[in-house]
A and B are shown apart, each in its own frame.
Chain A
Amino acid sequence: MSGLVNPVVLRITLRATLGRKRALIFLLVPLVLILITVALKAVATSPVWPAQFLGVFGFSVVLPLTALIIGTSVVGAEIDDGSIIHLLATPVNRTSVVISKFISAAGLKVIFGAVPLYLSAAIARGPAGKLAVGLLAGALVAAVAYNALFVLLSLLTTRAIAVGLLYLLVWEGLLGNLIGGVRVLSIGQYSVSVANSIAKSPELNAHLTLATAIIMPIAVSVAALALASRRLSTFALKGEAV
């Protein structure tokens, strides 16, 4: 594994990603999540509000959105501004570039997505509660699978954010609720199902078995990263406007 992670790529990616203005959104989204949790704790009367709020807002808004922003910026932003050429004009292994980018994205996602979600659940139900631990586990699944997918997307298209949003809204949000079969191919469902296996809360709206929710995201991530590194090794630069 160590040969597949390039510390130079990792370091440059983290600095580039955190240095952009976009990085403020990384902070803003979790901050809003925690603030709402604190407010709800003060006023909410329903006993299941933490699972309802964190399950819906956390898993269908916060996690996919932060993943979308982070996952597309670790590769996409460098392709957009052309700085990726300085990485690629070296003999560095293309797969290790993809893996390093993915690991930086997933790591940032854990800090700015999974940890705040855990904190919110801890504020609502206590730090060792089933809900907090369950949500953390689910969020880790989301961090891995979403980022693998979005790293791939930003190598496939320059409109990765738009395509990613379409996937989230139409595939996961709309079709996932209407057609049962779609859920087997929904990263959102993998993560809530893992969360639910620990938290045991019907409000999480989980529909998959634990085995499916563990095997599928691993398969999806490996496939996405394999495709991404194939794509990067045939990375083409266009010349002057012709």
Chain B
Amino acid sequence: MNGIELRNVSRWYGNVVAVNDVTMTIGQGITGLLGPNGAGKTTLLNLMAGFLAPSRGELTVGGRPSWRNPEVFRTLGLVPERDSVYAFLTGADFVRSTARLQRLPDPDAAARRAIGMVDMAEAQDRRIATYSKGMRQRIKVAAALVHDPQVLLLDEPFNGMDPRQRLQMMDLLEGMAQRGRTILFSSHILEEVERMSGTIQVIVGGRLAASGDFRAIRRLMTSRPHVFLVRTSADRALGALLIGRPAVTGVELTPRGLQVRTSDFGSFSREIAALCRDGDIRLREVLPSDESLESVFSYLVSA
């Protein structure tokens, strides 16, 4: 029982439901918690770390409830999103303090090891106030890792990191996952989650929208119907041509241009150029009209 278990967990504030009847099991390896901003990711992580009581349902970490149970932090590490570190401490001081609060037998050695893992040895004697956002993020990770926890929760850990730091952090987390740790990180960026592969849990509007293997969910995302707004020199003529193609499932003439619905994004984008050339139609603009992450997510919810 090293993972995180949620059974029908809900959390509401007054009339606002932040987390709605979520059931999930997070086991060994890396799991991405994906969802648009405001979806309830942070609320879920706070519930898991025992900083919120579930309004309903059951939540355990390593088999024990985390609410009102600080002991859970012996095997749990938390990297909060908020950038509120004790800025007057040096990086090394901060991680050592956490090691002492954990009552580790050799706090200095544990701090050195954790700081080395996030590659912050060089900057460890500078005050945190002088750190960049990426460095603060890494020193927070070092503090959360100092007791070598079985379960690590990270809230938007890649925020503010440059691509090199991002890769390094991903390697670090992957290494921990290979050593049998349970790692859950939240993100609103699809590509971050994609790079880390593994399993994902998609949260939209407080509900668990999709859960499982990333590639399967990714396929679901790319095969969803796409809507484009197309502006040409002859909308009606192109519309007639488009409706004859199998990839196109709908065409509508609107004052702003042609609204085209397609079930096959790949063939549509190849065919539209050829159709225009053959029909001698000037293609002015092709605008995806529902490419926002929110629309991807809301599609997943209804799927």
**Do A and B actually bind?**
yes
Interface residue ranges, A against B (CB under 8 Å)? 6-9, 11-12, 15-16, 19, 81-83, 85-94, 233-242
| A6–B97 CA distance with the chains assembled, in angstroms | 11
Check if A8 sits within 8 Å of B101, measured CB to CB. yes
Compute the total of residue contacts between A and B using a CB distance below 8 Å. 101
Segment from B44-52, B255-263, B268-276 that makes contact with A:
B44-52
Q: Is the C-beta of B91 less than 8 angstroms from some C-beta in chain A?
A: no
Taking the closest CB of chain A, its distance from the CB of B291, in whole angstroms, is 23
User: In the complex, what distance in Å separates the CA atom of A83 from the CA atom of B83?
Assistant: 8
B86 and A83 within 8 A (CB): yes
Q: A236-B51, A239-B18, A242-B43 are in contact. Are A90 and B73 (CB under 8 A)?
A: yes
- Asked if A12 contacts B38 (CB within 8 A), the reply is no
What 19 additional pairs, Cβ within 8 angstroms, besides A15-B86, A242-B43? A8-B97, A12-B89, A83-B86, A85-B78, A85-B80, A85-B82, A85-B84, A86-B94, A86-B98, A90-B70, A91-B72, A91-B102, A234-B53, A238-B43, A239-B42, A239-B43, A239-B45, A239-B46, A242-B13
Knowing A92-B101, A240-B40, A240-B43 touch, does A86 contact B86 (C-beta < 8 A)? yes
Contacts of A236 in B (CB 8 A): 46, 51-53
- B170 interface hit (Cβ, 8 Å): no
Contact B41 A240 (CB under 8 A): yes
Which residues of B are at the interface with A, using a C-beta cutoff of 8 A? 13, 16, 18, 37-46, 49, 51-53, 68, 70-74, 77-78, 80, 82, 84-86, 88-89, 94, 97-98, 100-103, 143-144, 206
A237 touches B38 (CB 8 A): no
Option from A15, A81, A90, A93 in Cβ contact (under 8 Å) with B98: A90
Tell me whether B51 and A85 are in contact (CB under 8 A). yes
CB distance from B90 to the nearest CB of A (A): 11
Evaluate contact between B86 and A233: CB separation under 8 angstroms: no
In the assembly, what is the distance between CA of A141 and CA of B300, in Å?
63
Distance of A223 from chain B, by nearest CB (Å):
21
Pick the residue among A15, A82, A92 that contacts B80 (CB under 8 A): A82
Chain A residues closer than 8 Å to B77, beta-carbon distance: 89
CA distance A82 to B51 in the complex (A): 12
Q: When the two chains form their complex, are residues B143 and A237 in contact, meaning their CB atoms are under 8 A apart?
A: no
B51 touches A12 (CB 8 A): no
Interchain CB contact under 8 A, A88 and B70:
yes
For A87, the chain B residues whose CB sits under 8 A away are: 101
When C-beta atoms are compared, the residue in chain B nearest to A235 turns out to be B51
Q: How far is the CB of B47 from chain A (nearest CB, A)?
A: 9
Query: Is A91 a contact partner of B71 (Cβ separation < 8 A)?
Result: yes
Contacts of A241 in B (CB 8 A): 38
- Decide: B97 and A92 in contact? CB cutoff 8 A: no
Contact of A15 among B71, B84, B88 (CB under 8 A): B88
Determine the distance from Cα of A93 to Cα of B101 in the docked complex, in whole angstroms: 9
**B85 touching A239, Cβ below 8 Å:** no
| Contacts A90-B70, A90-B98, A233-B68 given; does A15 touch B38 at CB 8 Å | no
Contact between A89 and B46 (Cβ–Cβ < 8 Å)?
no
Nearest CB of chain B from residue A75's CB, rounded to whole Å:
14
Q: Are A16 and B86 in contact (CB under 8 A)?
A: yes
Question: Which chain A residues border B42 with CB–CB below 8 Å?
Answer: 239-240
Report the bound CA distance from A236 to B44 in whole Å. Answer: 13
Given contacts A86-B143, A240-B38, A240-B43, contact A91 B82 (CB under 8 A): no
A94 — nearest CB in chain B belongs to which residue? B70
A151 to B38, CA, bound (A): 32
Q: Is there contact, CB below 8 Å, between B97 and A238?
A: no
Residues of B within 8 A of A89 (CB): 49, 73, 77-78, 80, 144
CA of A86 to CA of B51 in the docked complex: distance in angstroms? 12
Task: Find chain A residues with CB under 8 A from B39 CB.
Answer: 240
Which residues does chain A contribute within 8 Å of B68, judged by CB atoms? Answer: 233-234
A238 to B144, CA, bound (A): 20
A-B contact pairs, 26 of them (CB 8 A): A9-B101, A16-B86, A81-B84, A83-B85, A83-B86, A85-B51, A85-B84, A86-B98, A88-B51, A89-B80, A90-B98, A91-B71, A91-B73, A236-B46, A236-B51, A236-B52, A236-B53, A238-B13, A238-B43, A239-B18, A239-B52, A240-B37, A240-B39, A240-B41, A242-B43, A242-B206
